[in-house]
Amino acid sequence: MTKPTVLLLGKIDHATKEWEALSDVAELQICDSKNREEFIKDCAEGGKWDGVVAVYRTFVSVAITGLIDEELISKLPKSLKYICHNGAGYDQIDADACTKAGINVSNVPTAVDGATADTAFFLLLGALRKIQFGLNQLRRGEFKNKCPIGHDPAGKVLGILGMGGIGRAMAQRARGFDMEIIYHNRNRLAPELEAGAKYVSFDELLAQSDVLSLNLPLNKHTRHIISTKEFEKMKNGVVVVNTARGPVMDEDALVKALESGKVFSAGLDVYENEPEVHPGLLKNENVILVPHLGTHTYETQYTMECVVLDNVRSAIEKGELNTPIPEQKK
């Protein structure tokens, strides 16, 4: 009996043995299409990827396929039933179009929480202390020459926009630094998940936060959820941290708010037009910047890869995904 075919879009860096072990239930293929046009051609009836049942997809594979949008979904093999995405955010995939096409999608919803929250808190501390200024100065051969004075986290109000797994992990870390925690979600959490954090409206979150941490998914409702009018509602001297997705914040508006002093500093791991970074952010030494390193640890990436592979195996063996995206949960 012929085994179903699984296609790898991108690269597996750590769980290579687990990938190879899938060969006991599936025929394994690695995508060598060079671009979107070639990929679509290879997906056509009689093409290289005709007959593929499940796809293991990485974030960077967008460079090959482009977005998995309605156009691309209409060109995918009719045999394709599962897309197993390696990442918590899946904004590169049109979930509604996949559902209409009968394609089930999974993500990695919890394995990223700790590493991303660690990165966010590193950026929070760095932004509060304006640490980037001192780092740059030191590399120029200067030593503490007119370094701006920063702030302690203790006693500050941390506002978390998006109290999912990463937001809750962020709150857990903030408690150790004696910060007061408020949050806003579409829905209030159960008391045991709040763990003492105070639920507030969106406008109250903007008005009360000394530090605002963005931990929400990117979708059509959250794009530029933080822009000029939102900055106007914030405290003077607010600190902003973003480890979610770049486009949830209007970078032009952020640059202007930094230049005016409305925003004291910012800590950013994600950018609106990655890999490009707004020149106004690059030149501002009050901003601490890292290149999308939120989950860039061996332990987290290995775990993420294993979660995706477990989804693929479950799809092949049971016809269901372990971690379906929220839009497709039954």
3-class secondary-structure state, position 228? helix
Residue (of 175, 169, 137, 140) closest to 156 by Cα position = 175
Q: How far apart are CA 21 and CA 240, in angstroms?
A: 44
> Could you give phi then psi for residue 20, rounded to 5 degrees?
-65, -35
Q: How far apart are CA 238 and CA 236, in angstroms?
A: 6
Active site residue 292: yes
Peptide bond between residue 77 and the one before it cis (omega within 30 degrees of 0): no
Q: What is the CA radius of gyration of the chain?
A: 22
Q: Position of tokens 């977005």?
A: 67
Give the active site residue among 129, 245, 278, 313. 245
Give the active site residue among 274, 299, 317, 327. 274
Q: How far apart are CA 73 and CA 80, in angstroms?
A: 10
Write the CA distances from 262 to 93, 236, 293, 326, integer angstroms. 35, 5, 27, 36
Give the active site residue among 36, 224, 292, 296. 292
Active site residue 299: no
Q: Enter the tokens of residue 267.
A: 């800590």
Residue (of 51, 52, 42, 41) closest to 8 by Cα position = 52
Active site residue 20: no
Are residues 8 and 19 in contact, defined by beta-carbon separation less than 8 angstroms? yes
Write the CA distances from 265 to 74, 112, 182, 292, integer angstroms. 44, 25, 20, 18
In the beta sheet, which residues pair with residue 268?
Answer: 242, 289
Q: How far apart are CA 239 and CA 209, in angstroms?
A: 9
Which residues are marked as active site?
245, 274, 292
